[in-house]
Structure 1
Amino acid sequence: DCRPAFILAFEKMANLATKTGLTKEIKLKIETPLIHLSKAKIIKTGIKLGVDYALTLSCYDPDEKGRSCGRCDSCLHRIKGFKEAGICDPTPYYL
C-alpha cells in the first residue's frame, strides 16, 4: 500500500512495536521519495538510473513461471505507466 495515510500509520506502528521505537534510541522514519510521482514518471526515473525492468515484478498473482497476470490492479498500473512513459514494457504476461 503506497497511500500516505498507510505509510504514516505503518511508521507510527513501527515506532510503537519495535525495541528501537520503544527505547526512543532512534525514531524510525519511512522515506517515500516516489510517492507523489506518476507511474510513468517513476518508470522514466528508473530508466535514467539504469533499472532493468525485465528483472522486476509488480503482479499480485504471478504464475509458477514468474509471469505476470496482466489483469490485477498492480499489472494494470504497470501497463498504463509503461504506455504513458512511451517505453516498451519488458514484462512477460501469461494472459
Structure 2
Amino acid sequence: KEFRLHAPLLHLNKAEIITAGSRLGVDFGQTISCYNPDPDGRACGQCDSCRLRARGFAAAGVPDPTRYWHK
C-alpha cells in the first residue's frame, strides 16, 4: 500500500513554528519541549530543547509561557 507523509513544519525553524502556532491559536502553555521536566511538568530551562524553545519564542517576539523550575 502507498502512503504519504505530510510534515508541514519540517523545514521551519522554531520561531516560524511558534509564529504559525500563534496565528492558529495554539496554547503553548499546554506544551513542553524539555528533556528533563520535574514531576509537576515544569521545564528545566537548561537542556538543549529548553534553550532552543526559549530562543524561538524570543525570535518570534512571542511571550514564552513555559513554566521553568530552574533557569
TM-score normalised by structure 2 residue count: 0.91
Q: Which residue of the other structure, out of 72, 81, 87, is the alignment partner of 2:56?
A: 81
Report deviation, 1:38. Answer: 1.2
Residue in 2 that maps onto 1:14: none
How many Å apart are 1:29 and its aligned residue? 3.2
Q: Higher Cα Rg: structure 1 or 2?
A: 1
Task: Give the length in aligned residue pairs.
Answer: 70
Q: Distance in 2 between matches of 1:76 and 1:28?
A: 35
User: Where in structure 2 are there 5+ consecutive unaligned residues?
Assistant: none
Q: Which has the higher contact order (CA 8 A, sep 6+)?
A: 2
1:91 maps to a residue whose letter is: T
Question: Identity across aligned pairs (percent)?
Answer: 51
Please, which runs of 5 or more residues in structure 1 have no aligned partner? 1-25
**Is 1:71 matched with 2:46?**
yes
After superposition, the CA RMSD in angstroms is 1.0
Give, in whole Å, the separation in 2 of the partners of 1:74 and 1:28. 31
Runs of 4+ in 1 over 4 A off after TM superposition: none
1:49 is aligned to 24
Offset, 1:73? 1.1
Query: One-letter code of the match for 2:68?
Result: Y
How far is 1:48 from its partner? 0.4
Greater helix percent: which structure? 1
* TM-score normalised by structure 1 residue count: 0.69
**Where does residue 12 of structure 2 map in the other structure?**
37
